[in-house]
Structure 1
Amino acid sequence: MSKIPIPFSEPPWLMGLPSAYYNESHRKWQKTCRSLVDELMADAQDWEREGDVPEDLYSKFAAANMLLPNLSAPLPIKWLKKLNITHLPGDLPVEQFDYLHTLIYADEMARSGSLGPSGAITTGIAFGLPPILKFGSQELQERFVPDIITGRKRSCIAITEPGYGSDVSNITTTAKRSEDGKFFIVNGTKKWITNGLWSDYASMAVRTGGPGPSGLSMLVVPLLNTPGVRMRRIKVGGQTSAGTTFIELDDVKVPISNLIGKEGMGMIYVMQNFNHERLSISIGVNRLSRVALSSAFEYVMKREAFGKTLMEQPVVRHRLAKCGAELEAHWAWIEQFTYMMTKLSEEEANRELGGLTALAKAQAGKVLEVCASTAVLLFGGNGYTKSGQGEIAERIYREVPGARIPGGSEDVMLDLAIRQLVKNFQRKTKELETIQERPKGSSKL
């Protein structure tokens, strides 16, 4: 294998080109992540073929302190110090971890060419723990954070239902107070819950009030070995090893004290949590597109047909060029986007970047679709085969729906992005008009 990287196989900054975004801490972190991920996920392709990951994989990631980078930056420093966690692998102080470190981690985790094995490790803690950290009371955090953050227990995020996916405001799973006032009694179903099979708890969106978004709340709902909870695996086209789960809840007793934040605020908590999820998806899906495109690039340089390599065919170069432009343009946007996250407060980022996060996630799915389909075509019959040299293209092509639907389906994301941009424009216009209407002049008599 050549030591010179195949074109499009790495982001420009890892191809030796200059970048204004990354400092020495980021460069050292990238090397650390690649080394550890290559070690811990060495058999990722085999696991995806088999549809499951080893039972001890999560504990291995926990032991290596490689679960923490799944959380949004900045990390929960107070909790980490309380648990005597001061550094991440590579001797990175937890205080220095920023969103570019998050980007690097998510990018490296997707290099296996499948979202399944990485999803089995990342999805639950990445999106299930943050609502507790950001909105939960100190008492709630004391009960759940230590075990989850160290990997002794597992959590997941449970929003989607059979009849309500991206339409979060209308979910129907109910949580009604018991007669003695000590419990919420939860009834309903949750579907397509990644990591649910293995999770001790779910940060779950439930309906505690009337219809619409104001009736939603979030609870920490116990799952494994809990009376009234039944879980079964769902077989999906991609991410076969990520533990996609159907959850049935029948009169499940959840202590009132498991309420996350305030009752009726669930919709706001869910929406803010989506921002980290959608950015993480965008990063991983871009890398998946990169694996597909660079694999096809390598293949057409050596595959011969009609007396010459496929790379010598103009139509092949044209296909690669169009995909490369989409891929690198999206990556440049993601880098710029992530850099802004390192400079804005969480409140500013949620307000200014929420709609753009949805748009970046939608664009990621489009980029993957064009790169994966092109890879399949360029591999020819090999790209339609679940083994051999074209297997990577066939597998990544099956990941396309999983990139375009979960985390907010594509059409909903496109609409949300524009609505959010309009809302911000109208707010800023009103603020400017208010400033201009203020009385002017001197205070002197």
Structure 2
Amino acid sequence: MSIPFSEPPLLQGQPSPYYSQKHIEFQRACRQFITSNLTDHAMNWEREGKVPDEVFSRFAVANFLVPHLPAPLPVHWLRRLGIDTLPGGLKAEDFDCLHTVIYFDEMQRSGLAGIPGSLSAGMTFGVPPIIRYGSKELQERFLPELLTGKKRTCIAITEPDAGSDVAGLTTEAVRSQDGRHFIINGAKKWITNGIWADYATMAVRTGGPGAKGLSLIVVPLKDYPGVTTRKILVGGQNTAGTAYIELDDVRVPVENIIGKEGEGMKYIMTNFNHERLTVAIGVARQARVTLSAAFKYCMKREAFGKTLISQPVVRHRLAKSGAKLESLWAWLEQIAFQMSKMSKDEVDIQLGGITALAKAQAAKVLDDCARCSVLLFGGNGFTQSGQGEIAEKIYRDVNGARIPGGSEDVMLDLAIRQLLLRYQSKIEEMGRSGRTTGRL
């Protein structure tokens, strides 16, 4: 029997309308491999501040990097590269968004976001735009090594003066006189995995101000002329290789442009649903880890002659945080199920606002559960070692959930604006068709 709140309902043996036997077999394979190759070592790596380089290679060889990609997977490319089967014997064409839920939940079982983050950002966020929008020539040059883990990439959007305001980016890419290169100048900041990446899928300004002037381009990083990369120490997730990237007259072939020039904002936006959902899934697991650790501690820790769990105020704290956690998880499973039944275009239109809202809510739930855990651990929760070490470390990760991937207040506002826009467009559509009732 598992500690309360330590596992989602499916893993407690409870029935679910969402998961099939294939999902369960996939989960078992993920649990076995990720536990022995990541989770069991995560705390030591967190203390050392680095995940060994060979871990990425180990995941790549075992095809455990591929599930970072959004569903449906690029089956044609995977087959060309000899990747027919995923963990648990799952066929690549059968991978759906519920497998994404399982995978990212398992990757975060240590509760330490930086550890899985050291492996994830490139495949999760940097590769999908190349798959979806890259020319055949661009894909041929980059996808074979990226999909097999022989090379690493990252997503480079955020800048020192432009974070959630993507349309305000200033890193500039100007065509050379012979028209064969873009010459890039600017800087990118808070770039996860940037210190290890061979390439970056980078947002640059190729046109005028605003969103219409943005493009996406593949920029070589490692030992490339004009590129300087240095690690940034952040408040949490320090093992994720967060980097500051400076670009000084960096010459990149024009053939490295992803899709059409000037459509970078569109390409960025279409990958946000996957990014925000995966963040929310991982954050929910972090909340599970810290809340269940506190629950276990309260069952054995004595104060005033009885265990903490015997105190009504303690049970009240656990109950409030647990209710928020389980409500969040039910919502995330519902969103993932809807995504598995809808086309990409339908998801972008109908679930963009909802996914942004879920990402913001997940971070708020983690904040609540982490604070609850630290308080119940008492002095142990304020210490970087010992019984409350996990609570202290997860609490430091809270702002890494509330800010990256779209800061909390921006996500809340974006959600309402998108929901309002969809409502208004439906009303207008009904007016044009002469209908006065019906489903919105």
The residue number in structure 1 matching 2:26 is 29
- Structure 1 residues 248-259: aligned runs within 5 Å: 248-259=246-257
1:221 aligns with 2:219: yes
Percent of aligned positions that are identical: 62
Q: Which amino acid aligns with 1:23?
A: S
The residue number in structure 2 matching 1:378 is 376
Q: CA deviation at 1:237?
A: 1.2
Query: What is the alpha-carbon distance in structure 2 between the residues aligned to residue 263 and residue 426 of structure 1?
Result: 31
Q: 1:437 to 1:313 in 2, by over 3 A?
A: closer
The residue number in structure 2 matching 1:247 is 245
- Structure 1 residues 191-340: aligned runs within 5 Å: 191-340=189-338
1:17 aligns with 2:14: yes
- Structure 1 residues 79-118: aligned runs within 5 Å: 79-118=77-116
The residue number in structure 1 matching 2:151 is 153
Q: CA deviation at 1:275?
A: 1.2
| TM superposition outliers: structure 1 runs of 4+ over 3 Å | none
Query: What is the alpha-carbon distance in structure 2 between the residues aligned to residue 271 and residue 340 of structure 1?
Result: 19
Deviations 1:295-352 (A, max 9, x none): 0000001100000000000000000000001000000000000000100000000110
Gaps of 5+ in 2: none
Query: What is the alpha-carbon distance in structure 1 between the residues aligned to residue 257 and residue 294 of structure 2?
Result: 49
How large is the RMSD of aligned CA atoms in angstroms? Answer: 0.9
Q: Secondary structure at the match of 1:43?
A: helix
The residue number in structure 1 matching 2:43 is 45
Deviations 1:343-379 (A, max 9, x none): 0000000110011111000001100000000000000
Q: CA deviation at 1:66?
A: 0.2
Q: Which amino acid aligns with 2:336?
A: T
Q: Secondary structure at the match of 2:53?
A: coil
Query: What is the alpha-carbon distance in structure 2 between the residues aligned to residue 53 and residue 371 of structure 1?
Result: 26
Deviations 1:83-135 (A, max 9, x none): 12110122111111111011100000000110011000011211000000011
Q: CA deviation at 1:49?
A: 1.3
The residue number in structure 2 matching 1:401 is 399
Query: What is the alpha-carbon distance in structure 2 between the residues aligned to residue 147 and residue 294 of structure 1?
Result: 40
Query: What is the alpha-carbon distance in structure 1 between the residues aligned to residue 379 and residue 435 of structure 2?
Result: 68
Q: Secondary structure at the match of 1:188?
A: strand
Deviations 1:207-231 (A, max 9, x none): 0000000000000000001000000
Q: Which moved more, 1:160-169 or 1:42-51?
A: 42-51
Q: Which amino acid aligns with 2:87?
A: P
Q: CA deviation at 1:56?
A: 1.0
TM normalised by structure 2 equals: 0.98
Query: What is the alpha-carbon distance in structure 1 between the residues aligned to residue 97 and residue 256 of structure 2?
Result: 29
Q: Secondary structure at the match of 1:72?
A: coil
The residue number in structure 2 matching 1:443 is none
The residue number in structure 2 matching 1:162 is 160
The residue number in structure 1 matching 2:182 is 184
Query: What is the alpha-carbon distance in structure 2 between the residues aligned to residue 386 and residue 124 of structure 1?
Result: 30
Gaps of 5+ in 1: 439-445
1:354 aligns with 2:352: yes
Q: CA deviation at 1:437?
A: 7.3
Query: What is the alpha-carbon distance in structure 2 between the residues aligned to residue 255 and residue 347 of structure 1?
Result: 31
Q: 1:304 to 1:437 in 2, by over 3 A?
A: closer
TM normalised by structure 1 equals: 0.97
